Chain A
Amino acid sequence: DTGVSQDPRHKITKRGQNVTFRCDPISEHNRLYWYRQTLGQGPEFLTYFQNEAQLEKSRLLSDRFSAERPKGSFSTLEIQRTEQGDSAMYLCALGGVYGELFFGEGSRLTVL
């Protein structure tokens, strides 16, 4: 149990549709990250929240992507007008005391 729940685990959608992923930390954590992993690659940083403030965004996060963390608890990642290139595993992670990240099981997106 990593302390992070992600939903849905798998989403299949048609190109052009919008999708939203949710990340629920089991306990309070100040630092929350979103990563994306495609086949044959390591996880790539997307965005970072310190409590409810989004402090960092990767250039990978195009304007079709938006992330929120209202009240500094759960977080959502929305992708608008999905493209086939968005197919990936979307991972939520919590920052540990020593800088390590604790990942959830991920949400796999398949765009047809």
Chain B
Amino acid sequence: DQQVKQNSPSLSVQEGRISILNCDYTNSMFDYFLWYKKYPAEGPTFLISISSIKDKNEDGRFTVFLNKSAKHLSLHIVPSQPGDSAVYFCAASEYPGGGADGLTFGKGTHLIIQP
């Protein structure tokens, strides 16, 4: 049973426009959410995170929004650049400080930035 779901396997966006990647979760105990970016043949790279006490966190071109009542979060990338083309993973944890179970990941969304 997938506790973290990314329902769009891929997303194509024009360079300069906004990319919006979505993620839904089912476990109401999740308290800490993260986004990772992954290039082929490399490990995932941490991008941005948000704790459940906030509804928005911003870091440069990346903003994560959290809607706890809907169990939904999204990652906005503005403006999208060619180097943003990668697979993006949503992840969640019950323990903001890091727990023994680590993180639960979604299956990923392949973002393609078109020139």
Q: Which A residues fall within an 8 A CB radius of B?
A: 2, 4, 6, 31, 33, 35, 40-45, 48, 50, 55-56, 91, 93, 95-96, 98-106, 108
Contact A100:B34 (CB < 8 A) given known A48-B101, A106-B42, A108-B41: yes
* Residue on A nearest B39 in the bound complex, by CB: A105
In the assembled complex, which residues on chain A have CB atoms less than 8 Å from the CB atom of B101?
A: 45, 48, 56
- In the complex, A48 Cα to B36 Cα: how many Å? 20
Please classify the interface of chain B as helix (H, G, I), strand (E, B), loop, or mixed, using the class held by over half of its residues. loop
Which residues of chain B from 91 to 113 have any CB-CB distance to chain A below 8 Å in the complex? 91, 93, 95-108
Q: How far is the CA of A99 from the CA of B89 in the complex (A)?
A: 16
With a CB–CB cut-off of 8 A, which chain A residues contact B41?
105-106, 108
Contact indicator A31/B45 (Cβ below 8 Å): no
CA distance A48 to B93 in the complex (A): 14
B residues less than 8 Å from A6 (CB atoms): 43
Picked from B93, B104, B105, the residue with its CB within 8 Å of the CB of A99 is B93
- Of all chain B residues, the one with the shortest Cβ separation from A41 is B107
- Which of A41, A42, A102, A105 counts the most B-chain CB atoms under 10 A from its CB? A42
User: Contacting B108 at CB < 8 Å: which of A35, A42, A45, A93?
Assistant: A42
| B110 → chain A closest CB, angstroms | 10
B32 partner residues in chain A, CB cutoff 8 A: 98-99
How far, in whole Å, are A108 and B43 apart by their CA atoms in the complex? Answer: 11
User: Across the interface, which residues of A come within 8 angstroms of B98, CB to CB?
Assistant: 31, 95-96, 98-100
Chain A nearest CB, measured from B40 CB (Å): 10
CA distance A44 to B44 in the complex (A): 12
In the complex the two chains form, is B43's CB within 8 Å of A103's CB?
A: yes
Q: How far is the CB of A105 from chain B (nearest CB, A)?
A: 5
Q: Which of B42, B95, B96, B102 contacts A101 (CB 8 A)?
A: B102
In the assembled complex, which residues on chain B have CB atoms less than 8 Å from the CB atom of A108? 41
